[in-house]
Amino acid sequence: MDKPGTTTAAALELKHLRCLVAIVDTGSFTDAGHALGMSQAAVSRNLAGLETLLGVRLLHRTSRSVAPTTAGVQALARARILLAGTEELVREATTGHTRLHIGHAWSAFGRHTTEFQRRWHEQHPETELRLIRHNTPTGGLAEGLCDLAVIRAPIDLTPWSHARIGAEARYVAMASDDPWARRRSIRLDEIPRRTLAIDRRTGTTALGLWPEADRPAV
């Protein structure tokens, strides 16, 4: 029994975080249970325990789907980071081998990728390098899926330490039989005449490249 004036606080455990991640990744409590080797009821208890600990609802639940709330998105990102760090700690402790994950949305280091990998292997043979593509604006960094990330998209970098490592030319992709395909360069002010496809998730091209009155209409 607790003494007068004291309170009992439940501890945050890795199983709470694993259940949250599994529910979101699999899309249901039942499938999360299968993935974790526990019952659906146990998954539900762990999720409820985590929500009680944090004092906030983490998932929107319906009979057909589950989706993270605003608070759930933030908790999920933190959970992935903590779980990845824990797994890395165990792996390093048991094998004595370190690994560096560098995420990227596309192209890694561009034309410098192969040379970067070669030099890394020569200068840091004790640390395995893995370049992994993640289709997110931060190349997997915000989701805790990598240690570093190569980011090209114009995003708010305030939460992370960052450094500019280079500049690249901007390219426009088109069909090989397009009349423009024979040209060596295309001016930005020519593009609004055509239909333009923009990758809003991980691309670096945005309508802000053009004056508001001269932006591509399609």
Domain harbouring 37, CATH code = 1.10.10.10
Q: Answer yes or no: do 158 and 193 share one domain.
A: no
Residue 183 lies in a domain: yes
Q: Would you place residue 121 in the very low, low, confident or very high pLDDT band (cuts 50, 70, 90)?
A: very high
Determine the Cα–Cα distance for residues 12 and 65; give it in Å rounded to an integer: 26
Q: Would you place residue 8 in the very low, low, confident or very high pLDDT band (cuts 50, 70, 90)?
A: very low
Residue 19 lies in a domain: yes
Q: Answer yes or no: do 162 and 188 share one domain.
A: no
Residue 155 lies in a domain: yes
Q: Which domain holds residue 202?
A: 179-214
Residue 82 lies in a domain: no
Q: Would you place residue 95 in the very low, low, confident or very high pLDDT band (cuts 50, 70, 90)?
A: low
Which residues have a Cβ under 8 Å from the Cβ of 84 and sit 6 or more positions away?
144, 145
Q: Answer yes or no: do 104 and 163 share one domain.
A: yes
Q: Answer yes or no: do 106 and 153 share one domain.
A: yes
- Closest by CA to 109, choosing from 149, 137, 153, 141, is 149
Residue 6 lies in a domain: no
- Residue 97: the pLDDT is 62
Q: Phi and psi at residue 61, in whole multiples of 5°?
A: -120, 130
Residue 8 lies in a domain: no
3-state DSSP of 17-84? HHHHHHHHHHCCHHHHHHHHCCCHHHHHHHHHHHHHHHCCCCEEECCCCEEECHHHHHHHHHHHHHHH
In this model, does residue 1 exceed pLDDT 50? no
Q: Answer yes or no: do 101 and 164 share one domain.
A: yes
Q: Phi and psi at residue 159, in whole multiples of 5°?
A: -70, -15
Residue 111 lies in a domain: yes
Determine the Cα–Cα distance for residues 24 and 68; give it in Å rounded to an integer: 7
Per-residue pLDDT reduced to its tens digit, 125-169:
888 899 999 888 888 888 888 889 999 888 888 888 889 988 888
CB 153 within 8 A of CB 104: no
What's the whole-model pTM score? Answer: 0.53
**In the 8-state DSSP scheme, what is residue 218?**
-
Residue 35 lies in a domain: yes
In this model, does residue 7 exceed pLDDT 50? no
In this model, does residue 104 exceed pLDDT 90? yes
Q: Answer yes or no: do 164 and 185 share one domain.
A: no
* Domains identified in the chain, total number: 3
- Give the max Cα distance, the chain: 83
